[in-house]
Amino acid sequence: MRLLIIEDNETLANGLKTTLKTAGFAVDIIDDGAQGLSLLKVQKYDLLLLDLGLPSMDGIDLLRQFRHINKSLPVLIISARDELDQRIEGLDVGADDYLCKPFILKEVTARVRALLRRSNQMIESKIEHGKLVLDTHKRSLEIEGRPLELHRRELSVLEYLLTHTDRVVSKEQIAEHISSFEDDINPIAIETYISRLRKKLDQHFNLKTVRGLGYYLEHA
């Protein structure tokens, strides 16, 4: 899943990015309010982490404008504004959750997962598909109770496929969903990851190629 952090504190933004990438998310960072709003209008994300004290546009104004064009994207405010009326204002203009600075980075990951589950974009931590069990929290895979090591990218591709069973997904959709700006994945590379998954998972992974369209994973 792909997240956007709009935060002008470089140290904090990078710390959040590292923590969330370790948890299996693709993460982009923007340090300017107006630029962040422009990006949200053209790029699809699964969740937004939003600071309020931003250059060029305050986070409250950004969120108020954004909610006119997108009412469903989960938004977690991360801000040093900790007064009750400030927190209420943030929630009233459209935030789904509000976390005051300073905070523990691991708590952000927990809040992100909770918001994604609430918005039905993320299911429980363990995804079962036949004899496969993918733990999205631990970033691990088991087959019939035995652990199987997968590359980080392979795990991300597998997670996307397992959460989109019984529908055709394109290479472009997979690539966009699991990559950020700095590690953008060429859709052609998805073919390599798919090939590796087929070899490693063999009969436990009934993935069909739909010529010219993408891939189709049948529900187990």
Domain edge (last residue) among 118, 153, 179: 118
Q: Would the pLDDT of 120 be above 70?
A: no
What residues does 50 pair with on adjacent strands? 6, 77
Percent of the chain with pLDDT over 70: 97
Same domain, 67 and 138: no
User: What's the average model confidence in pLDDT over 125-142?
Assistant: 88
pLDDT of residue 68: 95
CATH code (residue 140): 1.10.10.10
CB 60 within 8 Å of CB 6: no
Q: What CATH number does the domain containing 48 carry?
A: 3.40.50.2300
Pairing mode, strands 26-30 and 47-50: unpaired
Provide the angle, in degrees to the nearest 10, between the axes of the packed helices 171-178 and 152-162: 120
Residue 123 has pLDDT above 60, yes or no: no
Identify whether residues 193 and 98 lie together within a single domain: no
25 to each of 2, 15, 21, 65, how far by Cα in Å?
Answer: 6, 14, 5, 26
In this prediction, residue 220 has a pLDDT band, given cuts at 50, 70 and 90, of low
User: What was the pLDDT predicted at 124?
Assistant: 63
- Is beta strand 132-135 parallel, antiparallel or unpaired with respect to 126-129? antiparallel
Query: What's the total number of domains in the chain?
Result: 2
Residues 50, 95: contact at Cβ < 8 Å? yes
Cis peptide before 102 (omega within 30 of 0): yes
Question: Does 159 lie in the same domain as 102?
Answer: no
Residue 19 bridge partners (DSSP): none
For range 86-99, the mean pLDDT: 96
Helices 59-69 and 33-42 sit at what angle, rounded to 10 degrees? 20
Banded pLDDT at 1 (limits 50, 70, 90): confident
| 10 plus 98 within the same structural domain | yes
Q: With bands split at pLDDT 50, 70 and 90, how would you rate the model's confidence at 166?
A: confident
Report the pLDDT averaged over residues 105-112: 93
User: Which tokens sit at 163?
Assistant: 């959460």
Residues 113 and 130 in one domain: no
Residue 84 pLDDT grade (very low, low, confident, very high; cuts 50, 70, 90): very high
Q: Are residues 49 and 140 in the same domain?
A: no
Do 215 and 194 meet the contact criterion of CB atoms below 8 Å apart?
A: yes
Specify whether 101 is located in the same domain as 180. no
Indicate the residue among 118, 137, 168 that finishes a domain. Answer: 118
Which range of residues forms the domain containing residue 94?
Answer: 2-118
Exposure letters 128-167 (e unless 16+ CB within 10 A, then b): ebeebbbebeeeebebeeeeeebeebbbbbbbbbbbbeee
Cα dihedral sign for 146, 149, 154, 156? positive
Quick one: 100 and 171 in the same domain?
A: no
Whether 73 and 154 map to the same domain: the answer is no
Give the Cα separation of 174 and 141 in Å (integer): 19
Q: Does residue 112 share a domain with residue 33?
A: yes
> Where a domain ends, among 92, 118, 144?
118
| Predicted local confidence at residue 206, as pLDDT | 84
Identify whether residues 39 and 8 lie together within a single domain.
yes
Structure tokens at 217: 């994973």
What local confidence, expressed as pLDDT, does residue 121 receive?
A: 58
pLDDT at 41 over 80: yes
- Lookup: tokens for 9: 């504190």
Q: Give the pLDDT of residue 170.
A: 94
Q: What is the DSSP letter of 102?
A: S
Calculate mean pLDDT across residues 194-198. Answer: 93
pLDDT number for residue 56:
95
Same-domain status, 196 and 172 = yes
